[in-house]
Structure 1
Amino acid sequence: MKITYKQTTDQITTDMLEGFFDGWPSPPSTDKHLELLQKSSHITLAIDENTQQVVGYITAISDQVLSAYIPLLEVLPDYKNNGIGSELIHNLLDQLKGLYMIDLLCDAPLQEYYKKFGMQPVSGMCIRNYSKQNGE
């Protein structure tokens, strides 16, 4: 398996984004997925060179002065445990390395995973409008 990484949605089509948001009760469509990638300030995509499918992605939203927030990281189930998620994180953190703060919210069981990348647990607050989960 040969995976390439890119930081742009150039030549990415909605049919290359099938299978993401696994387990979400109301997932975004592939059109909305492409739109969220295009509107994110920073992205990295993992592409399987054999199938030309996007098999993983990570996004960041940033003011590009002091701060960034990483809302999404996902690797397709068949590609997990191959280092793709780690490579996506390393690539994105490299893009954000000049910023003061990089924030990410995750469930407690995932905190150990993110500690490997120099992140530390902090307290936070959030609002989740589940009726808007699909981006409509």
Structure 2
Amino acid sequence: MIEYRETQEVDLDQLVALIRAAGWNRGDDPARLEKQLAGARYVVSAWDGARLVGFARAISDGVTNAYVSTVAVLPGYPGRGIGREMIARLLAGKGGISFVLHARPEVRAFYEKCGFSEAPDMMWRRRSV
């Protein structure tokens, strides 16, 4: 049974392993992940016993806007509703906050099922490093 935790206290070694296994190309530096955790307003992790199998985080002012910056599920676990449940927990009780995210074309249908829709009024400036 998957257990969900809403805390920034996540085993950093397991988080690095999860991010690497999920194929994130720039997100597996431990020092960087530690800073990302510290800066996240909302964090949800999914555990199969003592094993971290899912992680989601959002950055927010806590009042009007939030950016879902990471959603990762360990290979072998997709299709079990873990990502959807983590998103639901990120959004729960925060109806006054607008959530945004960037989604690759192959995962847009997933986010649409979670209640997100494309927004033609958004602009984006990519990081340069």
Q: TM-score, normalised by structure 1?
A: 0.79
Structure 2 spans left out of the alignment, 5+ residues: none
Matching residue of 1:134: none
Matching residue of 1:87: 85
Change beyond 3 A, Cα 1:25–1:59 = closer
Matching residue of 1:48: 48
Between the two proteins, the alignment pairs up a number of residues equal to 126
- Is residue 2:114 matched to residue 1:114? no
The residue type paired with residue 56 of structure 2 is I
Structure 1 spans left out of the alignment, 5+ residues: 132-136
RMSD: 2.0
The percentage of aligned residue pairs carrying the same residue is: 29
Matching residue of 2:5: 6
Decide whether the 8 Å contact of 2:27 with 2:33 is kept in 1.
no
Q: Equivalent residues in 2 for 1:1-136 (5 A)?
A: 2-10=1-9, 12-17=10-15, 18-21=17-20, 22-49=22-49, 52-99=50-97, 101-123=98-120, 124-129=122-127, 131=129
Cα displacement string for residues 10-62 of structure 1 (whole angstroms, at most 9, x for unaligned residues): 3x32222213143344443234323312320111111111xx12211111111
